[in-house]
Structure 1
Amino acid sequence: MKTIFLSILALATMALSSCSKTKDPVEPGPTDPLRPGYVSGKVVDAHGNPIAKANIVANNTQFYNSNILGQTDANGNYQLQLSPGSWYVRGSVKVKYENQNYVLDLFTEDDGAFAGTEGAVKNLKLRISGERTGNFGDDGFYGGQIEVFGYLNFFDTDNVELTLEPVGPLVDSNTGQKLTRKVSGMYIEDVPLGKYNVKARYVPENKPLKVRVRNVGTFQNTVTALFEPSYPGATGRYKLNIEVSE
């Protein structure tokens, strides 16, 4: 009797096993919460709208030029599968502005290294001004740099003040504000990226100066200028060279 009971139990177990199927592992979606072995997140613009086709890079902190590349989908989401190790995330987006192509670095929230085996959620935002995170060589500002040069016998550029009035929306489509900045060591840092009408004043004498984009055209009371790559082929860093004359 005992033998018959065990046989029936075995048959029942086999029948139940045949009715259940083992599911293949499901890849986590971009909007899923933290998952070991993956980094995921969302990229948004200055208005909180998702950015599609933003480039995302997971960089390995231990091995040079060891990275994993990806892009955001139509909803601004991304997900990258990682190997064991220490990683951090960077991103960039291409923007068309004033018929020029800009490649803008994205701000990574909660920026820092994480273990690939543990995974992470790293969201990114578009910023055209403000201080960078300072991590992994990401120093400086998201805004543009202005370098001011004196013309002929005018050398006292540290006593020059520029007035910058936006011409239309800025690169991030926000409305800019009129800025008045004094030069320091030939530079003005972190100006929101955009197109500006630029005027100059010599502060000690409260005297207007003539201005132009360096080595371009003639000196005028006002020059309209656009930020350009810091050097040919540069991405993420933009500059404006202004020349002043009495």
Structure 2
Amino acid sequence: MRNIFGKRKQMAGIAIVLAGCIAFNGMAGAFGETPPEGVKIKEFSLLDTATDVVGSADFTPEGKKDGHFKLQLSLDKKTTINAVVLRSTDDYGKDNYQGVWRTNRVTTGWILGIVQDKTVTTASGIAHENIIINPGFRKDVKEPVGEFEGELTFNLYASDNGTIKETQHYVLEIETQQGTVISKPIKYKKPATAEGSAAPVPSPSPVQNPAPTPTPAPAPSPAPADEAKDIAIHVRFKGSELQFGDAQPVVKEGRTLVPFRPLFEALGFTVNWVEDGNARRAIGKKNGLSIELTIDSSQAMVNGKTVGLDVPAQIIDGRTMVPLRFVSENSGYRVAFSSSGNVWSIQIEEAVTDTSTPTDPVPTPTPAPIPDPVPAPIPTPAPSAGEVEPYIVKGYLRDAQGQPLSGVTIYADNQLFYDSNLGGVTDENGFYRIELAHLPTTWIMSTSFTRSYNGKDQRFYLRSDVDLPFAGSAGAIRHFTLKDVVGHIEIHPDFWSFDDNMPKLQMNDLEITLTPVGPLFDGSSGKSITARAGALPTGGHGVDRIPLGRYKISAVWKPEGHTPVPMLVKVKGSDKFVSSIDFDFQNPFGTASIFVNEFDIKPGS
């Protein structure tokens, strides 16, 4: 056991070092900085993927469709912009290595072309003038993009590297001499906008929260979050529908948030609002029970004890919004969910069992209470793990659909002594509980396990969803979710098979089509993927972030100005080239959570 975990720990250390290198190279100098004052991203959105304005290094159309973005920037004073960087990310803003576009030639990446939409006064009136800010890469990285001031509108064009698509997430970094402003992740979904990280948070007042009875609103109700847009959410307490006035329930990160005051008062609490410096707290008290929620904090206080939150209380359009399930269940009630079309019904009823203990079976109604609404409600998530306990770490392991994974060993890794671990096994509901040694140390959580798919054992290595160390004396709740199970394929051209009269092979001219064969690993039917071969984060070229499954692969070479050429393909190491072939992913060299296959290609006859 110790030898196995010595290797596991060594690999984790190497991964941390590599991740640190990537992060420091990729954050454009923003690591640890305070966003500069007076610099604000008012809007950042993906408009379309239908234009062809720039090439890979300059303002020259190349016959491929660019990503066309809009940026509205507010600068309180003259500000020098050193560089602008566009990154392809996951929905949390983490690089997914599908592309980087820049204004300056720094390491790898394609050009990010910037055109300013400038309003000018002419003899005939007001007109708009398009000014190209950077006609090509600024090869001297010290040369700034320019000096700007006021309210600005820019069109950004990202040269197509074979991965520009409207389903992708993107983050924009604006580097100034005072620091860097980074936008929130956006993708093409009207309105596909994101504020910058330096945007101010509105200061609420407790009187802004609507009363329990409805009041007419002079303006439209705040739009629900994108993930629950056009969904009508009705909340009933013991059969009577709660009225929220002009601040309706919204869904954030799969959790329903409702106005603070109507919910607390319906549950019998006396409510209070406290502002202490930068901390703003919504407090409810009744019959010896106290619930305290701090705005934008992932921790709440229940009767003076700290409890973790999936989604924090927050200010939305000037209203204090709190997580419905958390408040209801910690008040002794249970929450049930049902839906019909675009109408959701959430019932708050008297609890029939003690929901603070994880011994009861997981409920099985479909759809589940407070589901992840994209694309549809997921099965019932595992119940709450209860309160944090000193010298105890506990939580659950579940898949992306909310189903528990049993029989998996979860490891608590002692940070004081090398290669010193404690383990606990998940039960039939996916729960685990580990008693920690009474040592003055911190702990970090991980798990490694195997699952069979299409007759092959695939290995997975996970860190906890909240991947932060914790003090053993304080205890912690650490959940695990098996999600984003993806792999990549590598493409190796057989250059000896290309005639001299053929054009030069550019890897992003290779169009790869992957068609699912049977259910994917997550049980879904999946969908066909057509993508250009691009640079992989591990080196070489291919297609990255493919949902784990069995696929049929085929390829077409589409050199510019030439007739497309069907390609033959074979799994690397096999003998025969064919027009298409079924394949599975594999864990190379016994690694966990890395799924790869490699292919040789050549022109068909």
Q: TM-score range by the shorter chain?
A: 0.7 to 0.9
- Cα deviation for residue 158 of structure 1 reads 4.0
Distance 1:107 1:218, change over 3 A: same
1:146 and 2:500 aligned: no
Aligned-partner Cα distance in 2 for 1:175–1:152: 36
**What is the percentage of aligned positions where both structures have the same residue?**
29
1:36 and 2:403 aligned: no
8 Å contact kept, 2:588–2:594:
yes
1:116 and 2:466 aligned: no
Distance 1:201 1:80, change over 3 A: same
TM-score between both structures, scaled by the size of structure 2: 0.32
8 Å contact kept, 1:150–1:156:
no
Counterpart in the other structure of 1:215: 573
Aligned-partner Cα distance in 1 for 2:432–2:405: 10
Aligned-partner Cα distance in 2 for 1:62–1:183: 45
Aligned-partner Cα distance in 2 for 1:159–1:64: 49
- Unmatched segments (≥5 aa) in structure 1: 1-27, 130-141
**Which one of 191, 214, 229 corresponds to residue 546 of structure 2?**
191
Letter in 2 for 1:218: K
Counterpart in the other structure of 1:57: 411
Aligned-partner Cα distance in 1 for 2:455–2:477: 35
Letter in 1 for 2:585: F
Greater alpha carbon shift after TM alignment, 103-112 vs 32-41: 103-112
Counterpart in the other structure of 2:519: 169
- Cα deviation for residue 236 of structure 1 reads 2.3
Distance 1:170 1:105, change over 3 A: farther
Letter in 1 for 2:600: E
**Which one of 96, 100, 108 corresponds to residue 452 of structure 2?**
96
- Cα deviation for residue 110 of structure 1 reads 1.9
Counterpart in the other structure of 2:529: 179
Distance 1:32 1:73, change over 3 A: same
- Cα deviation for residue 105 of structure 1 reads 2.9
Counterpart in the other structure of 2:598: 241
- Cα deviation for residue 176 of structure 1 reads 1.4
Let me know the Cα RMSD of the aligned residues. 2.1
Aligned-partner Cα distance in 1 for 2:525–2:469: 35
- Cα deviation for residue 60 of structure 1 reads 2.8
Counterpart in the other structure of 1:135: none
- Cα deviation for residue 194 of structure 1 reads 0.8
Aligned residues: 205
- Cα deviation for residue 150 of structure 1 reads 0.9
8 Å contact kept, 2:450–2:460:
yes
Aligned-partner Cα distance in 1 for 2:520–2:529: 13
SS in 2 for 1:245: strand
* CA displacement, residues 185-226 of structure 1 (integer Å, 9 cap, x when unaligned): 313222111100011121324322111111213111111110
Aligned-partner Cα distance in 2 for 1:197–1:146: 12
Aligned-partner Cα distance in 2 for 1:89–1:70: 11
8 Å contact kept, 2:459–2:587:
no
- Cα deviation for residue 113 of structure 1 reads 1.3
* CA displacement, residues 30-52 of structure 1 (integer Å, 9 cap, x when unaligned): 64421111110011122211110
Aligned-partner Cα distance in 1 for 2:519–2:468: 33
Off by >6 Å, runs of 4+ in structure 1: none
- Cα deviation for residue 107 of structure 1 reads 5.8
Letter in 2 for 1:145: H
Counterpart in the other structure of 2:211: none
Greater alpha carbon shift after TM alignment, 171-180 vs 155-164: 155-164
Counterpart in the other structure of 1:160: 510
Distance 1:173 1:224, change over 3 A: same
Letter in 1 for 2:404: P
Letter in 2 for 1:33: E
TM-score between both structures, scaled by the size of structure 1: 0.76
SS in 1 for 2:444: strand
8 Å contact kept, 1:88–1:113:
yes
* CA displacement, residues 52-108 of structure 1 (integer Å, 9 cap, x when unaligned): 012211123444322222210111100112233111111233211111111223462
8 Å contact kept, 1:160–1:202:
yes
SS in 2 for 1:228: coil
**Which one of 78, 82, 98 corresponds to residue 436 of structure 2?**
82
Aligned-partner Cα distance in 2 for 1:55–1:180: 38
- Cα deviation for residue 241 of structure 1 reads 0.6
Aligned-partner Cα distance in 1 for 2:471–2:553: 47
* CA displacement, residues 101-134 of structure 1 (integer Å, 9 cap, x when unaligned): 112234622221111111111111112x3xxxxx
- Unmatched segments (≥5 aa) in structure 2: 1-355, 359-384, 499-504, 536-540
8 Å contact kept, 2:514–2:552:
yes
SS in 2 for 1:40: strand
8 Å contact kept, 1:29–1:79:
no
8 Å contact kept, 2:412–2:446:
yes
